[in-house]
Amino acid sequence: MIDKVQIIVRGGKGGDGLVSFRREKYVAFGGPDGGDGGNGGDVFVLASSSVEDLTLIEHRRKFTAKSGEHGGKWRQHGKEGEDLNIFVPVGTVVSVRAGAGEEKILADLTTLGQKVLVAKGGKGGLGNVHFATAIHQAPRIAGKGRLGEEHQVILELKIITDMCIIGYPNSGKSALLCAISGARPKVADYPFTTRQPALGVIRGSWRDFVVAEIPGLVEGAHIGKGLGCEFLRHTERTKLLIYLLDGTSSTISGDFIKLNEELSQYKVNLCQKQKIIAVNKVDLPQVKAQLPGIKQALASFGVPVFLISAVSGEGVLEFTTTAIEMTRQVNQEKETVLSPEVALFHPRPKR
């Protein structure tokens, strides 16, 4: 899955104005009649449901809108250049590269149909009819169409999900995704089986919930180690973080602390999201013998803890029900915060 690309966008060139004079029989003093050139087309980035990632854009890289047509005789205006829409998935952040390598965010396309202008088309040139004066009645000059804007644009996809499963390699993230949703990612007994985020859907009673599996994090992922550094951006929009811990680990509480540190060092506000802990592989005999110690070690974090087995299904239903309820509470809190207040305007009485 391609989730970050850099492209070059260029607005269409404006059409040239025309130098022309009216030459008709029985028409005296025809004078200049050259028309204006049409404006070049604009380039927009549009959030669409027809694409899932940025793969098609990554293969093209350069996007140029149509140029405007030149002006015609009899003061005919040239045709405007067609606008160019670049279709991206919902959740794409659009930035433009400014001077000194800085990136300026233009828009965060979080809703379907939302679009942003990234390159303005050039203005069409004026025909010679605009240059006629009382002294200079037969001008032989016309305006040239201007070039469209050209920018380097960065498109970064951040998946909008309800839940994200994070954990160390071989902790059973893919197996858990299979157990709670209809997704069928690759499952194997070796680390780094998943090399790109996998999505699944949990069927709820009032709506469906989208859950994502983030490829295995390792220590130092926030600075570029392992696979997680490429996909940590997808945790920024989730409502609930699912910390999946391997029950066979000898330092299970330390694993949770390190995962939390990786997220906080990538983005501080990630640690402020709702969390839930799932300890996997409790069906194994060596894990069952350590369950009292595991519960005691994780109780001090103040996060709901569930003991599950993604393979046998033990505890998965209770865990999924609680995760859905926590996500629903986050949605309700968000709607409460975002609900706009009605402003009342009282006009002053006329004297």
**Cβ(55)–Cβ(1) below 8 Å:** yes
Residue 58: predicted pLDDT: 83
**Cβ(259)–Cβ(301) below 8 Å:** no
What is the spatial distance between Cα 82 and Cα 102, in angstroms, rounded to a whole number? 30
* CB-count burial class (<10 Å; 0-12, 13-18, 19+) for 183: middle
Residue 184: predicted pLDDT: 67
Write the CATH number of the domain with boundaries 163-337.
Answer: 3.40.50.300
SS3 349: coil
User: Under CATH, which architecture does the 4-157 domain have?
Assistant: Distorted Sandwich (2.70)
Q: 4-157 and 163-337: same fold?
A: no
What is the spatial distance between Cα 5 and Cα 54, in angstroms, rounded to a whole number? 7
What is the spatial distance between Cα 336 and Cα 340, in angstroms, rounded to a whole number? 9
Per domain, the residue ranges of the chain are: 4-157, 163-337
What is the spatial distance between Cα 183 and Cα 197, in angstroms, rounded to a whole number? 12
Residue 250: predicted pLDDT: 84
DSSP symbols for 177-242: HHHHSS------SSS----S-EEEEE--SSS-EEEEEPPPP-TTGGGT-TTGGGTGGGGTT-SEEE
Say which residue the tokens 């391609």 belong to.
2
DSSP symbols for 33-82: -PPPPPPPPPEEEEE-SS-SSSHHHHHH-EEEPPPPPPP-STTPPPPPPP
What is the spatial distance between Cα 96 and Cα 103, in angstroms, rounded to a whole number? 6
Q: Which residues pair with 210 in a beta bridge?
A: 201
344-to-54, 176, 300, 318, 341 alpha-carbon distances in Å: 44, 51, 49, 47, 10
In the chain (351 residues long), the average pLDDT of successive 10-residue segments reads 85 94 78 93 93 85 94 92 93 85 86 92 94 89 94 88 86 87 57 62 78 71 48 81 90 88 80 89 90 88 91 91 88 55 53 57
